[in-house]
Amino acid sequence: MIDPTIDRTVGEAGAPVLVAGRFRRNKLMTVGAALALLIVVVAVLSPFIVRSAPEAAHPTQTLMAPSGAHWFGTDQLGRDVFSRVVAGARVSPVVALLVLFLACTVGIPLGVAAGYFGGRIDEIIMRITDIFLAFPALLLALAIAAVLPPTIGSVTFAVSVTWWPWYTRLIRGQAASVSGRPYVEGARAAGVSHTRILLRHVLPNSLTPLIVQVSLDVSAVILTVSALSFLGLGAQDPTPEWGLMVSQGQEYFQTQWWLVTFPGIAILLTAVAFNLLGDGLRDVLDPRRTVVH
């Protein structure tokens, strides 16, 4: 049941306690947070975890099955797959976070400006946004990446271009709603500058849905980046990028299954971790949800 008398604004003393209680009760979010933390720890400690240099080729040890010496086997150049999968934790997730940072850097200011000022500014920003949203994100990213050199930087830029419009539209709706509230109208009447109103009132009260959406989008961006690398438009050998590893191992899949399986599992676990974390954050931060007794 939803109790309409419950006011759970950020300033209330009971809100942090309620949020903390929901976090403890949300088992799936706990699992997602634990997996995400594990991925971060692996990425940070990867230089100490790898069993050999990820780029080091050993021609006499090619396509060896998983064993005590090579936990995930070796690839067609004799490189240790375990070391490359571990090192990949510093590539794919980091690229995803960079994409989301760039998308937020562009999308948030545009969305806040459109929602707060309205009128012609809103029309111009949203029509440009609609042009980008008219194309499927993966197809647009593919088209942009195809005309750029096949590098990590190119795929980061290509995916960022396709992602910022979603945040602009999301923040625009929130900012428009907040801008019509009495305390914002009062600040305008008191002569408070637009910049101060935006930074102190509109932006902070518009970020909760964005936080949830960004956490959900981490997995989607990782899958998109991996897809572009799989197609040869992203990371290039010898970069230990998971999508590239899957692409390189596909022709050996029927006989040397480990080349595709382990980097594929890494992509899957990362996607699941951030999806669970995002779903949990949505449940915790959604003001329309309350505890059912």
Give tens-digit pLDDT for 234-262: 888 888 999 889 988 988 888 899 999 99
- The tokens describing 11, both together, are 């300033």
Handedness of CA 132, 134, 137, 138 (dihedral sign): negative
Average pLDDT for residues 210-226, to the nearest whole number? 88
| DSSP assignment letter at 292 | -
Nearest one of 212, 274, 216, 280 to 40, comparing CA atoms: 274
Residue 290 has pLDDT above 70, yes or no: no
Superfamily of 86-181+207-289 according to CATH? MetI-like (1.10.3720.10)
Residue 11 has pLDDT above 50, yes or no: no
pLDDT, tens digit (0-9, with 9 covering 90-100), for 24-71: 677 888 888 899 899 999 999 998 998 888 888 888 888 899 998 889
| DSSP assignment letter at 199 | I
- Rounded CA-CA distance 23/45 in Å is 27
Can you say whether residue 177 is alpha, beta or left, with left for phi > 0 and alpha for psi between -120 and 50 degrees? alpha
Q: How confident is the model at residue 23 (pLDDT cuts 50, 70, 90)?
A: low
Distances in Å between the alpha carbon of 108 and those of 9, 61, 165, 239, 286?
A: 22, 50, 9, 32, 20
Q: What is the CA radius of gyration of the chain?
A: 23
Q: How confident is the model at residue 293 (pLDDT cuts 50, 70, 90)?
A: very low
Average pLDDT for residues 188-195, to the nearest whole number? 86
| DSSP assignment letter at 252 | G
Nearest one of 11, 79, 74, 26 to 238, comparing CA atoms: 79
H and E: helices and strands count for the chain: 12, 0
pLDDT, tens digit (0-9, with 9 covering 90-100), for 116-126: 998 899 999 99
Distances in Å between the alpha carbon of 3 and those of 53, 287, 288, 290?
A: 57, 11, 8, 7
